[in-house]
Amino acid sequence: MNIFNPDFDIAALLIVAIAGLYSRKRCRSTPSIRFYRWLLIGLALSSIFRLLASLVIIVPLDVPMALPRFLFSMHYVAAAASALIFAAYIKIIVNGNEALKSENRSVFLAAVSTLLGCLLLYNMISPTFFDFTEERGYITLPAYSICPLLLTMLIMYGILLAYRARLIIEERTFFSLALASGITMGGIAMETVFPYKYAALLFTAASALSLLLFIEIPDFSGYDAAMQALQKEKAENERISVTTTSFINGMGHEIRTPVTSILGLNEMVLRETTDPNIASYARDIKSSADALLGLLNDILDFSEALSGDMEIKNSEYEFPSLINDLRNLMSLKALDKGLYLVIRPDASIPQIMKGDHVRLKQILVSILSNSVNFTEKGGITLTVSCSRADANHVDLRFDCKDTGAGIRTEDREKVFIPFMKLSGDSEEDGEGSGIGMSYVRNMLLAMGSDIEIQSIYGVGSICSFTLRQEVVSGADITHPAAEESDSRGPARQLYRCKFTAPKARILVVDDAPSTLKVFRELLKQTGIRIDTAASGAEAVGLAAKETYHTIFVDQLMPEMDGIETMQAIRDEENALNIGSPIIAMTAADVQDNGDNYIYSGFNGFLAKPLKPEQLENILIHNLPQELVTLQK
């Protein structure tokens, strides 16, 4: 019987090509998809060989009939290989069941495939299954039925595997395998009954396409419901995150208020006591309160990092001022432990740069605080060097070296794990939550850098990082901060007030009575007259009757907050305090929010817990100079 129409072969080849391209672009790489692609390759080769054989028959060329016989034999060899891969594909799909893994079955598959391949190759030499006549007619021989029988055995083996695994695979997968097997066997049956139709390849390509659609491509029937559930879960997580952040920030303020009282009143004990035992107790109280405050700051920082609110804000800043602020913040803490603190900035560092100086200060304070906490003897040296990155940028290198406890080699990375207590450390090895260094790394990564730690256990550590900053002013530092700063001294110096101002009058507004008491006690030696108000409304009433040289207003108060109180005082019709400096007092993180208070109209801000030195500096800066007498 003659062959005149290769349309089925072309259609099969197109289907296989489309399935192959789609699986390449859209399906992730898995063991099953790799076997599926090999199946497509086998089907493509089978289609190509039979298409070539058909063309040889159709085109009137003078060629021996051994050529189409060879091509058709190779078509059947590729079809047999495809059947073997199909069985292996099904085995991969159900491979999760250990009971289905059997070397005997693998040997059976290989034996059947090898037998079929050998028979087909033998058909090239001596026609056994099919042949072509000199008149270009295709004839089937008595042994032809062996080919579809062996192919059917391979496919039936795959169906048996799928049936036995029906309880452990998805119902959709089982029916997809059954459908693909049924379509393939239908094509083989049609070709056996009507050999001139050659429909088996088209049917097999269709079954391969069904495998792609129903197994390899994920089921998106529940996509919309799943997306809605995810969006609902995301909204709930965001709500919980906002609530948690608000709670932590609120608790931060509430905790800082009593800590302010503890540290303030304890400062008065340290100033006035002459009993060495009481002084020792007071120093222990101060140390514990400072540790509590450090833990609170770490928790707030960690909460900020988790909430995703950590934003890098670049702005111009003066590097000498940053160094001075750093020295003022850390020198007393080092002195309280009898440690030296040396700051060595390179004189070639540009004076004005652009970067996130707020985060940079937080990073340095955290690293220095960590060094102080874990150092009992000796001290800390911070070195800042500078190298030009290009015409407009410099790389600042910060190296903080301490003579502390050091870190074991195996514990280097553990210091960046939140709440991790290093193995072998005792309670005396230092205080802290273990959050600080994790937060430092997160900030540095957000700023395009990272921290390096070198340490010898029992000797000390060096924490280093490099940060690129934009140069605004190319002038080198011409400021005392460029000089080496070496803070050394006894653990505690006898307190002495920096100034007196008996003719000055200030107003302190805070709803916490303990804060008002601490204010009076801390400024007792200055002679300043202090009026107090427990609410914004009371403060507005006092400001309508009296002119104050400086007004301190707590930011978070019931009924009228700090901003509302400030505006009401300045809008008061008598205008007695329209030009008076108004300072915001806040238990929030002023390193992040300080600029916001200035933008809101305040003349400055004072962080809680109150630090005597900062309080005195603010008053010296804001009180009329003729009322202030500095102490020598």
DSSP letters of 204-252? HHHHHHHHIIIIIS---TTHHHHHHHHHHHHHHHHHHHHHHHHHHHHHH
Write down the CATH number for the domain with range 221-309.
1.10.287.130
Which is higher by pLDDT, 602 or 600? 602
pLDDT-based confidence at 542, cuts 50/70/90?
Answer: very high
pLDDT at 134: 66
pLDDT at position 314 over 90: no
The vertex-618 CA angle with 622 and 286, nearest 5°, equals: 160
pLDDT at 622: 93
3-state secondary structure 122-137: HHHHCCCCEEECCCCE
pLDDT at 537: 92
pLDDT at position 486 over 60: no
- The rounded mean pLDDT for the chain is 78
Taking only the tens place, the pLDDT of each residue in 385-399 is 998 878 889 999 999
Question: What is the CATH T-level fold of the domain 318-487, as seen in this structure?
Answer: Heat Shock Protein 90 (3.30.565)
Tell me, what amino acid is at 143?
Answer: A
Which is higher by pLDDT, 377 or 300? 377
- Location of structure tokens 């020792």: 280
pLDDT at 556: 82
60-74, 178-192, 193-207, 423-437: which range is least confident on average?
423-437
What is the average per-residue pLDDT within 343-350?
A: 90
Tell me, what amino acid is at 214?
Answer: F
Looking at 495-607, list the stretches that DSSP marks H as alpha helix, in order from N- to C-terminal side: 513-522, 536-543, 562-571, 590-600
pLDDT at position 478 over 60: no
Cα 534 from Cα 513, distance rounded (Å): 7
Write down the CATH number for the domain with range 499-630.
3.40.50.2300
Which is higher by pLDDT, 588 or 30? 30
pLDDT at 427: 41
Taking only the tens place, the pLDDT of each residue in 8-25 is 778 888 888 888 888 887
Fold equal for 221-309 and 318-487: no
User: Domain 7-216 class?
Assistant: mainly alpha
pLDDT-based confidence at 494, cuts 50/70/90?
Answer: low
Taking only the tens place, the pLDDT of each residue in 495-534 is 678 899 999 999 999 988 888 888 888 898 899 999 999 9
372-376, 435-439, 577-581: which range is least confident on average?
435-439
Give yes or no for a cis peptide into 218 (omega within 30° of 0): no
pLDDT at 624: 93
103-117, 125-139, 502-516: which range is least confident on average?
103-117
pLDDT at 480: 44
Cα 196 from Cα 138, distance rounded (Å): 8
pLDDT at position 192 over 80: no
What is the average per-residue pLDDT within 102-123?
A: 63
pLDDT at position 338 over 80: yes
Of 106-115, 264-273, 567-576, which one has max mean pLDDT? Answer: 567-576
Taking only the tens place, the pLDDT of each residue in 267-311 is 878 777 888 888 887 877 877 777 677 667 666 666 666 555 567
Provide the percentage of residues in the chain whose pLDDT is more than 90. 16
pLDDT-based confidence at 220, cuts 50/70/90?
Answer: low
Listed by start position, the domains of the chain span 7-216, 221-309, 318-487, 499-630
Cα 382 from Cα 435, distance rounded (Å): 21
pLDDT at 481: 45
Q: Do residues 366 and 391 touch, judged by C-beta distance below 8 A?
A: no
Of 97-111, 132-146, 339-353, which one has max mean pLDDT? Answer: 339-353
Cα 108 from Cα 117, distance rounded (Å): 14
Taking only the tens place, the pLDDT of each residue in 420-447 is 655 544 444 444 444 567 778 888 888 8
